[in-house]
Structure 1
Amino acid sequence: MQSFRSEIENPIVEKDIIDLEKKIQLFYKGEIDEERFRSLRLARGVYGQRQFGVQMIRIKLPYGKLTSEQLHRIANVSDEYSRGRLHITTRQDIQIHHVSLDRTPELWAELEKDDITLREACGNAVRNVTASETAGIDKDEPFDVSPYAHAVFEFFLRNPICQELGRKFKISFSGTDKDTALSFMHDLGFIAKIENGTIGFKVMIGGGLGSQARLADTLFEFIEADKIIPVTEAVLRVFDRYGERSKRAKARLKFLIKDIGFEAFVKLVEEEQKALSITTFPIDTTDFDSEINLDHIKEIPVVVIEDEAAFEAWKTANVIAQKQEGFSAIGIKVHLGDFYTDKARILADLVKNYAGNEIRLSLRQNILIRHVKNELLPFFYVELQKLGFVDVGYESTLDITSCPGTDTCNLGIASSTGVSAELERVLKVEFPQYANNKDITIKISGCMNSCGQHTMAHIGFQGMSIKSGNYVAPALQVLLGGSVLGNGEGRIADKVLKIPSKRGPQALRSILFDYQENVAVGESFINYYDRQGEKYFYDLLKSLSDTTNLEQSDFIDWGSEQAYEKAVGVGECAGVVIDLIATLLFESEEKLDNSAASLNLNQYSDSIYYAYSSIVNTAKALLISEGKKTNTHAGIIADFEAIFSDKIDLGVPFSEFIFQIKNNEPTQEFAQNYLIDAQLYYKKVDAYRAQVITDGK
C-alpha cells in the first residue's frame, strides 16, 4: 500500500491520497463512524454500490475532456482494479465499478500520473463542471467556454468553502444560446455572451431535477468573465451557511432559494462581497487559443468504403463540421454509456495519431472525437467500424440516455438499462427515420432522482414499482413535454401515468405512431404535445396501465431472470458507530490545523474559512450533545448563542464572534486574529465539555 507514495509529484495530492488510506484503516478499526467516513470517501470519488463489499469509482473529468494518454491510463486502471468496463455519465465523468475499498488509494495514485482526479467527484461538494461538448469547435459559439469551465474547476477543487456543503453543487457552461449544457437545471449555469465587445455570461441559478424539479432563475443577464469566480464563491458561501443539512431531500440550493425567496437570497450573496478571496479573476485562455497542429500526420491512409450509402448516412448523422475550416468532429453513439478498455485503447491511439489527441464526453453519455481533417473521414469510418462505433443516431432520438439503475445503484427501483436497450432496439428496427431527428429526446432513470434526466425529456421514463393484488411488478412512470428551450429556459415534463415496465415499448410505439399520424407540417413535438394536451396522452396510454391482466413475464424486470423484488440496495459496510460528538471535535482540531497550514502558505482566505468551519463544527458538537437540531450553519449559530451564551464566555455574542468572517476582508492580519480566536474558542468548548462529562460521572 505504501509503494505509490513516492510516485506522486504533487504534495497536496499525495497528502490527500495518504489521508484516504489512513481513514480507511481507522474506519475498519471502528475509530470513525460510518456517516463521517461515508462523507470523506464520497468527496474522494469512492461511492458504495448496490453489490456488497465493492465500490463505484467516479473519475472527475472537467467538461468531459480526455487526451489519449489519459484514456490509456483510465483503461489500465480499469483492467487492474476492476473488470475492464468504462461507464460515461450524464455529467461527463467516467465510472468504474466493482472496486475493492482497500485498493482505492492505489487506484487514485495511478490516475494522478496523468493528471486525473477523483477529488470531489461525489459527495457534498462542487461536482464535475460540465460544458457543451462542442465548446471550441461550434460555428455558432461567441467564444470557447472550455477555459472558463476549467478555471472554475481548478479554483474550487479542495477549496475550503465547499468541502462540506449540505448537498452537492452542480455547475455548467453552455457555449451558445441553444444551452446544450442545460443551465436551467443546474445550481449555477453559465451561457456564453458577448456584449459591446466584452466576453461574459448570462448566469442561471437554483435549477435542479429530481422528485421536485425546479427551473433556474436568472441571476445576471450578463456579467464579465472575470466576475464568474467571485460570483460563484459568494453563492457557495451563502449555500454553505444557510443550506439545509439534516433533511437530505430538502438540501439542494433550489430549496434554499424557494424557502427564503430569490430577492432575499441575492441580498445574502451581496453581503458576502467583502469577505471574498478575490473580487475579480481574469481567466487565461492561452492554452485553449492555439491553432490545431496535426503536423504528425504525414500521409492520408487509403481505404476502401464497401458501403457508400452507409458511409454517407454516418456522415449525415454523426459528423459535425467544426468552425475551424477543413476539420470535423465525429460523434460516437455509446449504448448506455458503456464501452470497454480494449476498444478504448484503440480509440486513444486513433485520436493521437490521426486527430487532435482529444475527445470530449457528452452529457448524453457519448464520445466526440475533435479536430479530424475532412480527408481523413473515410479512414476514421473504416477504423471505427471495426470497433462497432459507427451506429448512426449520435445525439438523436435513437440515442437514449439512461442511468445505471438497478444494475449497480443503491437507489435504483427498476431497471433503466434493460428497458433502454429494448427501446433502442424498437427504434432502430421500427422507426429508423428518427436516426437524424434532433427534435425528440428520450431519457430514462431508475428512480425519481433523475440521473438519467427523464424529467426534462420530450419522452421520459422513471423506474417505479406497481401493485397487482398481493404482488409487485416493476413499473415505469411515463413523462411527456420536457424540453430545452434555449438561453436558460427549459420545461419540466408532465407525469402522465404509470405502466408496468414490460409495456414500455408499446407506450413508446403508441406515442410515436400518434405523433406521426397527427403532427402538423413543421410542428415540433413540444407544440404537438401542447396542442393535444396531457389528458389526451393519458387517454392514449390508459389501457397500458391496467394491472388486472398482468402476465408472469410482467413480474420479471428487464435484463433479469428472477421475479422482481423492490429493494433499495445497501452495498456499504455497516461499520461501528462511535461517539459522533468526539468525532466532530476531532474534525474541528483538524480544521484548525488546516487553517494554520494555509496561513503559513499565505492563503489567507482559505485559512479564514477553515477557522470558520472549525467554529461551526465545534458548536454543532455541543448542540448535538443537547439533543438540538443542526440543520443549517445559520441555525447552529443562532441556537448556540441562545443556549451557551451564559456558559461559554466569548466577550461578545457568538454571532458577532463568528460573523467576523463576512465583515472583514481576507487580510493577513484578520486571518491571524481569526485563527487565534478560533483556537481559544475551541479550548473553551473542550474545557466545558470535559467538565460536563466529569460532572455527569
Structure 2
Amino acid sequence: MWRAAMRAPRNGFSSVADIDEFVAVLDQYQSGEMDADTFRGFRLTRGVYGQRQPDVQMIRVKVVGGLLTSEQLLALADVSTDQSRGFGHITTRQAIQFHFIKLDDCEALQRRLGEAGLTTREACGNTVRNVTADPLSGIVADEAFDVLPYAEWCQHHLLRDPRFGKLPRKFKIAFSGNEQDRAQAAINDLGFVARIVDGQQGFRVLVGGGLSTSPANAYVLHDFIPTSEMPVVAEAVTQIFDRIGNRANRARARLKYAIKKLGFEAFKVEYESVLAEIKALHPEALVMPPTSRETDQLPERAHIEAQSPLGSFDVWQEHNVLAQKHPGFKAVVVRLLLGDLTAAQFRGLASLCATYTDGTLRTTNDQNVVLPWVEARLLPNVHRALTDLGIGRSHARTLVDLTSCPGADSCNLAYTGSRELGRELVQILEANESRSSVRAALNGDIKISGCPNSCGQHHVAAIGFHGGIRRVGERVLPLYELHLGGKLDHEGARFGRRIGKVPARLAGEALLGLVGLYEAERNANESVADFFWRVDEALVKAIVDPLNDVADDAPDLMFQDLGTEDVFGVHRGDGECAS
C-alpha cells in the first residue's frame, strides 16, 4: 500500500529481519534443502552477486542518493578489512561494492552494515535498484531545489514492497537537481529532473532511458508535475513495468524495450489509467518538511586553526573545490582512482566528515566522493588530510579523472581488464601532462567498459572504450572499440559515435593521438565531446586504423591483456545481471 510520507531517517534502510531471513535461506541451501538456481534468485535480491572466480561473491551496498555518514564509513571500513580484500569500490550508481566475499562471511558483513543503517536488500536482481541523486543536492546555487530528500523517500517507499521484488528486470531511478542532469536521469528507467514553474517546485519526468548494448534516451512523460505527485508517478511507472515487461526474453526485458514495443503513446494511455487508480486509492498528497539546510543547522564543532597550504594546493583547489550557495562554505571533490577506497581511507574520510563537514559525504556517479560544508578557510587542512590518505589528487572532473567498470578482474561478462586500461591511461596522461594537447583536452571525459554492456557508461563519454576481441590467425587479440562524442546535458543523452578499434596494448597511443587531433582541429571553445561528435570520421580512422593492423606474427605482447603476461583467452560466463 502507498504510505503517506515523512522524511525517513537517513540511517533507516537496514532491517534485522532481512539478515535473519538471509541466514535461514543460506542454511537451507548449504544443507541441500534448496537448489542452486532458487538460492541464486534469492541472494541476488539481497545484493549478493556471483563473480568470475568460484566460491566468492560480490556484495553491493545501497547508498541512497550517495549519502554516507561518518558512522557508515566506519562500517564500510570494517567490512573492507574483515570480509573483503582491504578496499571497496564506488559504482556508477553511487553504491559501494565489495568483492571476493565468502558466503559464510555474508552474515557478519550484513550485520555490521545493518548496525550503521546500510542495506544490501534489492541492490541486485530484478528489483528497484539504488535510487540515485545529484551528488551536489542542497549545496550548489544552480539547482532548482534539493532533491536528495525525495530520492531517500522514494527508496524507502519502494524498498521491500513485495509487488516490486520480482520485476521483469532491474529498474533504475534517478533524481537530478537541475536541467544539466548530473544524476543522469536521461539514462534511467525513471528519472525526475527538478524544475520550478510559476514559483512551484516540481519535476520533469523521464521514462525508458538506459545504456547496455542498445542505448536509449528517455522519453518525457511529464514536462512538469508538482513534487507532491512524485510518489504516485513513481509507483505507477513501476507497476506498469511489472505488467508489461518482457518476462520471456530477458535480453529485451528493460522498460525501454517495453515502451518501444508498445509505442510511447500507447504506454502513456496505460500509464494514465494506472495513475488514476492509484490517486483514487490514495488521495493524500506528499508533505515534505523544508529541505534546504542552513548554516545554523550544522552540528556545533570546536574552533579549528587553519593550516598552511601545501605546494600542490592551488592546482587542487582549482579543479577539486566547488562553491556552495552558502557563504563561507565549499564542497570538495575527492578524486579516486577507479572508484576505490581502502579501509584506511574509509576511516580517514569518516574522521574528515566528523571534523570538517556536516558529518556526511556523497558518492558520485563518476566514482568519486564529495565533501560538503567545508569552511573555506579550512580547505588547506582538508587537502593535507586527503594527501596523507593518498587521495589528495588534483584534476577532479577532467580527462584524467576517468571511470571504469570492474571488468575482467571479477565480472563474468567482461572480455578485457577495463580497470587495467584505466590505470594505464591515467599513467599516460599524467606522464604527458605538460603536453599542450593533454592540457587542451582536460575538459573531456573517459569512460571504460570491459564488454559492450556499458556498466562503465562508455556510450555517454567524450572518449569511450568498450572491450572486445578479434581473432588473428590462431590467436585472440584483446581490443577496445571507440565511442566518441557522447555526453549528458540539458538536451538529454547523446551516445557516442562508434569509430574504430584499437588493441588493448595500444589504447594509450590511440588516446594521445586523439587528443592531438582535438588540439589541432577544434573550433574555438569547442569541447572534446562536441569536437568528436562533429569531426570527419576519416581523420579519426587515420589515427586508429593503423594501430589495429596486427598480423598473426606480431609480438606476443600484443596478445596479452594489460596487467598480465598470460596469453589472452576469452573466459566469459553467465552474468548474473541477467539472472
Would you call these one fold, judging by a TM-score over 0.5? yes
Asked if 1:500 corresponds to 2:503, the answer is yes
Mapping of residues 275-674 of structure 1, within 5 Å: 275-276=277-278, 278-279=282-283, 281-286=285-290, 289-291=293-295, 293-294=297-298, 296-307=300-311, 310-431=312-433, 439-487=443-491, 489-548=492-551, 550-569=554-573
Question: What amino acid sits opposite 1:178 in the alignment?
Answer: Q
Q: How many Å separate the matches in 2 of 1:263 and 1:554?
A: 51
What is the alpha-carbon distance in structure 1 between the residues aligned to residue 14 and residue 181 of structure 2? 35
**How do 1:53-452 residues align onto structure 2 when only pairs under 5 Å count?**
53-276=55-278, 278-279=282-283, 281-286=285-290, 289-291=293-295, 293-294=297-298, 296-307=300-311, 310-431=312-433, 439-452=443-456
The structure that is helix-richer by fraction is 1
| CA distance, structure 2, for counterparts of residue 170 and residue 438 of structure 1 | 30
Tell me by how many angstroms 1:90 deviates: 0.5
1:84-116 superposed Cα distances (whole Å, 9 cap, x missing partner): 211111100111111111221332122111111
- Could you tell which deviates more after superposition, 250-259 or 72-81? 72-81
8 Å CA contact 1:444, 1:461 repeated in 2: yes
SS in 2 for 1:272: helix
Partner of 2:352, secondary structure, is helix
CA 1:114/1:421 → structure 2, altered by over 3 Å: closer, same or farther? same
The 1-side partners of 2:415 and 2:390 are apart by: 31
1:437–1:379 distance in 2 versus 1, CA, 3 Å: farther
Does the 8 Å contact 2:468/2:480 carry over to 1? yes
SS in 2 for 1:336: coil
Q: Answer yes or no: is the 8 Å Cα contact 2:416–2:467 preserved in 1.
A: yes
Matched residue of 2:443: which SS?
coil
Number of aligned residue pairs: give it.
561
CA contact (8 A) 1:82 1:97 kept: yes
CA–CA separation in structure 1 for the residues paired with 2:13 and 2:196: 39
Distance 1:128 1:306, change over 3 A: closer
Percent identical pairs in the alignment equals 38
Deviation of 1:138 (Å)? 1.2
Instruction: Pick which of 218-227 and 75-84 moved more.
Output: 75-84
For the residues of structure 1 that align with 2:223 and 2:523, how far apart are their CA atoms?
35
Q: 1:559 corresponds to which letter in structure 2? A: G
Q: Distance in 2 between matches of 1:61 and 1:39?
A: 22
Distance of 2:517 and 2:452 partners within structure 1 = 27
Q: Distance in 2 between matches of 1:83 and 1:436?
A: 38
Tell me the SS of whatever aligns to 1:123.
coil
Residue pair 2:299, 2:358 contacting (<8 A) in 1 also: no
Q: Is the 8 A contact 1:52 1:571 kept in 2?
A: no
Distance in 2 of aligned mates of 1:542 and 1:446:
21
Amino acid corresponding to residue 270 of structure 2 in structure 1: L
Q: Structure 1 residues 520 and 113 mapped into 2: Cα distance closer, same or farther (>3 Å)?
A: same
Q: Which moved more, 1:414-423 or 1:492-501?
A: 492-501
C-alpha distance in structure 1 between counterparts of 2:12 and 2:331, whole Å: 34
SS across alignment from 2:567: coil
TM-score between the two structures when normalised by the length of structure 1: 0.77
- Report which stretch shifted further, 554-563 or 290-299: 290-299
Listed one character per residue, the Cα deviations across residues 449-479 of structure 1 (whole Å, up to 9, x for unaligned) are: 1110001111100011111111102110111
CA contact (8 A) 1:398 1:428 kept: yes
Code of the aligned partner of 1:180: R
SS for the counterpart of 2:15 is helix
Deviates more, 1:466-475 or 1:538-547: 538-547
8 Å CA contact 1:293, 1:356 repeated in 2: no
- What is the CA deviation profile of residues 116-138 of structure 1, one whole-angstrom value per residue up to 9, with x for unaligned ones? 11111111111111111111111
* Cα deviation code 1:42-75 (max 9, x no counterpart): 1111111111101111000001100101100111
CA shift digits 1:16-63 (9 cap, x unpaired): 222211211222233333333212111111111111101111000001
Evaluate the alpha carbon distance shift between residue 121 and residue 541 of structure 1 in structure 2; reply closer, same or farther with a 3 A threshold.
Answer: same
**1:519-542 deviation per Cα after TM superposition (whole angstroms, max 9, x unaligned):** 122222343224323343233321
1:166-189 deviation per Cα after TM superposition (whole angstroms, max 9, x unaligned): 110111111111111111111011
| Structure 1: 5+ residue stretches without partners | 1-8, 573-697
How many Å apart are 1:569 and its aligned residue? 4.1
Letter in 1 for 2:346: A
Does the aligned pair in 2 maintain the 1:392–1:435 contact within 8 Å?
no
How far apart are the structure 2 equivalents of 1:235 and 1:22? 33
TM-score between the two structures when normalised by the length of structure 2: 0.93
**1:383 aligned partner, one-letter code:** A
Per the alignment, residue 40 of structure 1 pairs with 42
Partner Cα distance (2:496, 2:305) in 1? 48
SS in 2 for 1:235: helix
For residues 280-318 of structure 1, the C-alpha deviation after alignment (integer angstroms, 9 at most, x for no partner) is 5414244654545456432232423341xx211111010
Q: What residue identity is the alignment partner of 1:192?
A: A
SS at match of 1:207: coil
When residues 203 and 498 of structure 1 are mapped into structure 2, their CA distance, relative to the original with a 3 A threshold, is same
Indicate the SS of the match to 2:17.
helix
Distance in 2 between residues matched to 1:240 and 1:219, nearest whole Å? 18
* Inter-partner Cα distance in structure 1 for 2:377 and 2:64: 30
Which range is displaced more, 505-514 or 291-300?
291-300
Q: Secondary structure at the match of 2:139?
A: coil
- For 1:101, the aligned partner's letter is L
Secondary structure at the counterpart of residue 524 of structure 2: coil
* CA drift at 1:392: 1.0
Structure 1 residues 359-409: Cα deviation after superposition (integer angstroms, max 9, x where no partner): 000100001111000111111111111112221111211101001101111
The whole-number CA distance in structure 2 between the counterparts of 1:423 and 1:562 is 21
Matched-pair contact (CA < 8 Å) for 2:14–2:118? no
Question: Does structure 2 conserve the Cα–Cα contact (< 8 Å) formed by 1:230 and 1:281?
Answer: no
CA contact (8 A) 1:361 1:367 kept: yes
Moved more, 178-187 or 538-547: 538-547
Unaligned runs of 5+ in 2: 1-10
- Write the distance in 1 (CA, Å) between the matches of 2:215 and 2:408: 22
Secondary structure at the counterpart of residue 335 of structure 1: coil
* Change beyond 3 A, Cα 1:121–1:470: same
- Secondary structure of 1:331's counterpart equals strand
2:18 is the counterpart of 1:13: no
- Distance in structure 2 (CA, Å) of the matches to 1:529 and 1:571: 32
Within 2, Cα distance between the matches of 1:437 and 1:137? 28
Between the aligned partners of 2:130 and 2:159, the Cα distance in structure 1 is: 10
- Partners of 1:414 and 1:447 within 8 A in 2: yes
- The residue type equivalent to 1:470 in the other structure is E
Listed one character per residue, the Cα deviations across residues 237-294 of structure 1 (whole Å, up to 9, x for unaligned) are 1111110123221011000001110011111112213542635541424465454545
